[in-house]
Amino acid sequence: MSTAGSGDATGPGDAAGPGGLPGTPTREGGVAVRVIPCLDVQGGRVVKGVNFLDLQDAGDPVELAARYYAQGADELTFLDVGATVENRATMYDTVTRTAEQVFIPLTVGGGIRSVGDVARLQQCGADKVGVNSAAIARPELVGEIADRFGAQAVVLSLDVKRSDRMPSGFVVTTHGGRTESDLDALAWAREAVERGAGELLVNSIDADGTKSGFDLELVAAVRAIASVPVIASGGAGNLDHFAPAVEAGADAVLAASVFHRGEMTIGDVKTALRAAGQLVR
């Protein structure tokens, strides 16, 4: 398990130290924007689709993780999209093999239902865990994990759709965006932070895989109510999409298919952010 926290981890591809490149403006609080590749894992393979549907094989998770580490990724996120009993052993093995060669913070989500699950994942090398459906079913889980492992270890994963049913205009979904809950996304995010979530991974189901850009309205809305870091996810399609997400309030930007398909590298994203006046490592 990496001993570095999310604020000070560096990889071999980093072009700048903690202070950024000379002349790089400092973000509020002096915290660099994190660039995070996401690997959706099912049956031991990375998969990717559009709007969480029509999943296709995208490669070996450990090989991809090593590639992104070499490119200078600040963190890595694994999401077990199957989250079934038969895939669980495969995911533990994937985390262990990745942690042996990738020395940046590793977040693992999918199928986490107890502090025991978190303990085992940390033994395998995970630094943080992402919780979603289990926390919706039993919100106390957020506090239980935070009390045992610290708020910095708890990432609330929010799969969000636009919805006229909710006061904020955004509803929390489960089952890969296919099932709408009765939770207003902003209200749930606020409650989860109060219960101990140390970070919010905000994924737009509407934008996921479309390459049309992040949902900036969603990012800004969550930023306005959150006192913890916000990770923008869903919709990245070209280099011009990342800076607006940061300007909308994201502390980190997450993408998947554009990296898996080699359409851009971690370094390309950092260069684009730097050119837009953002501090990156």
Q: Which residues contact 95 (CB under 8 A, 6 or more apart)?
A: 78, 106, 108, 121, 124, 125, 126
Query: Does residue 14 surpass a pLDDT of 80?
Result: no
Query: What letter represents residue 236's amino acid?
Result: A
164 is catalytic: no
Reported as a pLDDT band with limits 50, 70 and 90, residue 12 is: very low
pTM, full prediction: 0.86
Least confident of 53-67, 138-152, 208-222: 53-67
Q: Average pLDDT, whole number, for the chain?
A: 86
Which segments of the chain does DSSP mark as H helices, in order?
Answer: 61-71, 85-99, 115-124, 133-137, 140-149, 185-195, 216-225, 242-248, 257-260, 266-275
- Among residues 14, 40, 80, 117, which one is catalytic? 40
Of 14, 127, 159, 215, catalytic: 159
Q: How confident is the model at residue 46 (pLDDT cuts 50, 70, 90)?
A: confident
Q: Could you read off the pLDDT of 126-148 as tens digits, one per residue?
A: 999 999 989 999 999 999 999 99
Banded pLDDT at 58 (limits 50, 70, 90): low
Say yes or no to pLDDT of 7 above 90.
no
Residue 7 contacts residue 31 (beta carbons within 8 Å):
yes
Q: Is 30 exposed, middle or buried (0-12, 13-18, 19+ CB in 10 A)?
A: exposed
What pLDDT, on the 0 to 100 scale, is given for residue 88?
Answer: 62
Active site residue 40: yes
Burial 60-74 (b: 16+ CB within 10 A, else e): bbbebbbbbbebbbb
pLDDT band at 98, cuts 50/70/90? very high
Q: Provide mean pLDDT across the span 79-97.
A: 74
Residues paired with residue 252 on neighbouring β-strands, in sequence order: 34, 231
pLDDT digit string, tens, across residues 151-191: 999 999 999 999 999 999 999 998 778 889 999 999 999 99
